[in-house]
Amino acid sequence: MGKIRPLSENLIGKIAAGEVVERPAAAIKELVENSLDAGATTVTVEIREGGLSYIRVSDNGSGIDESDIRMAFERHATSKISREQDLDSIATLGFRGEALASIAAVSKVTMTTRTAGRETGLKVTNEGGKITDIKETACPQGTTITVSDLFYNVPVRKGFMKKSGQEATAVHDLMTQMLLSRPDVSFRYISNGKTEYHSPGDGQTATAMQTVYGSRAMKEMKAVDDHGNGLVIKGYVGIGENARGNRSQEFFFINGRVMHSKILNDAVETACRERVMIGKFPVCALYITIAYEAVDVNVHPNKLQVRFRDETGVYEAVMSAVLNAIRVRDAFEQPVEMV
Ligand code: ADP
Ligand code: MG
C-alpha cells in the first residue's frame, strides 16, 4: 500500500486556519472587517490576555439571516462576490469566505446575530469548526462574535504565540489603524477591562486622530488638504514633538483602505525632514483618493502593498501637500517677521 493519503477535512481546515489566523490580531482584523462590510456604524472590540483567551467583536451591522448561518461558517462561502468579474472591482474588505471558518476551526466561537427584519436573534455555538448548537435569543440588531481559547486544539501553534503583552500590542496597532481608516465609525476598544479607545464616529479625521494621539498632540498636528497629479490628499501630519522613533505611525488610506507604500513613506519623510529630528519619523494619517486605474492593489488581503502607475506624480503630489501643510500652519502660527 502506498504512503500517500489524502488529508482529512478536519486537518485541511486546521492547516488553512493557520494561514488566515496566525495570531489574535489577525483574527480580530477579519472580524472587524466583517463588521465594516456589514455596514456597522459602531464596533466594539474587547480582548483579554492579548486576545489569546478571549476576543469579542460586536457590531450594529446587518446581522446574518437564519438561512445563512450555516454557510457563514463554511470555508470558501461568501455573500460578497459571486462572479469572476467581481474580482476586478471588490468594494468589500473581505471576499474569500475563509475567515469565520478558519477562526472557528481553531477556537470556541459563540455568535449572536439579528437582522433588521427579525424580532428575535440567534445564538450559534461552534467548537473546533463544528456547529454544536443554534437557538433563538433576544439580542440587538447586528452581530456579536466571541472567540475563546484561540488555538486550543492546535497545541503547536499555541506554543508559538508571543507573550500576551506582545499580542495586545499587535491588537492595539491594528485598532489604531482601523479607527483612523474609518472616522465615520464609532470604535470602542477594551483590553483587560480597560477602555483604550472610544472614537465618536462623527466622520471627522480630526476627532479620530485625537482619539488615538490625545488632544495635546492634536494641537500640534498640521492639517493636510491638497490635490495634484490626479490625487486628493487630506489628513494630518505630526512633526517636531510628535515625531516617533519608528515609522509605525505613518498611516496611508488609499480609497478607504489601509495601504503600505515605500513611495508614500519617502514623500512624507522628505517633506518633514527639516522639522523632524534625525532618526525620528513623522506621524501621519493621510487619506488619498486616486482613480482606481491609477493603482495596482495586490488583492491578497494580508499584503496591503499598493503600486502606482505614476510613482513620480504620486510622490510629488504627496510631498508638496505635506510641505504646504507645514508651511501654511507655520505662517499662521508664527508670522514671518518683516524687516
Ligand atoms: P468573507 O468576509 O470573505 O465573505 P467570512 O468568513 O469572513 O468571509 O464571512 C462569511 C460571511 O458571513 C460573509 O460573507 C457575511 O455574509 C457573513 N458575515 C460574517 N461576519 C458578519 C457580520 N459581522 N455581520 C454580518 N454578516 C457577517
Ligand atoms: Mg470576512
Q: Which structural domain range is residue 138 located in?
A: 9-198
Q: Grid coordinates representing 278? A: 534625525
Instruction: Name the closest-CA residue to atom 17, ligand 1.
Output: 72
Cα 273 to ligand 1 centre (Å): 43
- Closest ligand, as measured to the CA of 100: 1
Binding pocket residue ranges, ligand 1, CB within 6 Å: 30, 34-35, 38, 59, 61-64, 72, 78-80, 94-101, 143
Residues 50 and 109 in one domain: yes
Q: Tell me what pLDDT residue 92 has.
A: 81
Last residue of a domain, one of 198, 232, 263: 198
Residues 292 and 152 in one domain: no
Cα 336 to ligand 2 centre (Å): 52
Residue 115 has φ and ψ, to the nearest 5°, of -90, 165
Question: Could you tell me which residue, 192 or 162, shows the higher pLDDT?
Answer: 192
Instruction: Name the closest-CA residue to atom 10, ligand 1.
Output: 72
pLDDT, mean over the chain = 91
**ipTM score:** 0.98
How confident is the model over 78-97, as a mean pLDDT?
81
Residues 164 and 70 in one domain: yes
Residues 40 and 159 in one domain: yes
CATH of the domain at 27: 3.30.565.10
How confident is the model over 72-96, as a mean pLDDT?
83
CATH of the domain at 323: 3.30.230.10
| Separation between Cα atoms, residue 192 and residue 18, nearest integer Å | 25
What tens digit of pLDDT does each residue of 257-291 get? 888 899 999 999 999 999 999 999 999 999 999 99
pLDDT tier for residue 84 given thresholds of 50, 70 and 90: confident
How confident is the model over 52-81, as a mean pLDDT?
94
Cα 34 to ligand 1 centre (Å): 5
Residues 35 and 155 in one domain: yes
Q: Is residue 132 part of a domain?
A: yes
How confident is the model over 159-163, as a mean pLDDT?
76
Q: Grid coordinates representing 112? A: 449572536
* Strand spans (E) along 192-310: 194-198, 222-228, 231-238, 250-254, 257-259, 283-290, 295-297, 306-308
Q: Tell me what pLDDT residue 299 has.
A: 54
Domain count, the chain: 2
Q: Is residue 54 part of a domain?
A: yes
Q: Is residue 68 part of a domain?
A: yes
Residues 110 and 29 in one domain: yes
Q: Tell me what pLDDT residue 306 has.
A: 82
Q: Tell me what pLDDT residue 300 has.
A: 57
Q: Is residue 151 part of a domain?
A: yes
How confident is the model over 93-115, as a mean pLDDT?
93
Residues 254 and 117 in one domain: no
Q: Are 84 and 72 in contact (CB under 8 A)?
A: no
Q: Is residue 212 part of a domain?
A: no
Q: Tell me what pLDDT residue 339 has.
A: 46
Which atom, in ligand 1's list, is nearest to the CA of 35? 23
- Closest ligand, as measured to the CA of 32: 1
How confident is the model over 286-304, as a mean pLDDT?
78
Q: Is residue 203 part of a domain?
A: no
- Closest ligand, as measured to the CA of 145: 1
Residues 65 and 136 in one domain: yes
Instruction: Name the closest-CA residue to atom 12, ligand 1.
Output: 72
Is the pLDDT assigned to residue 231 strictly greater than 90? Answer: yes
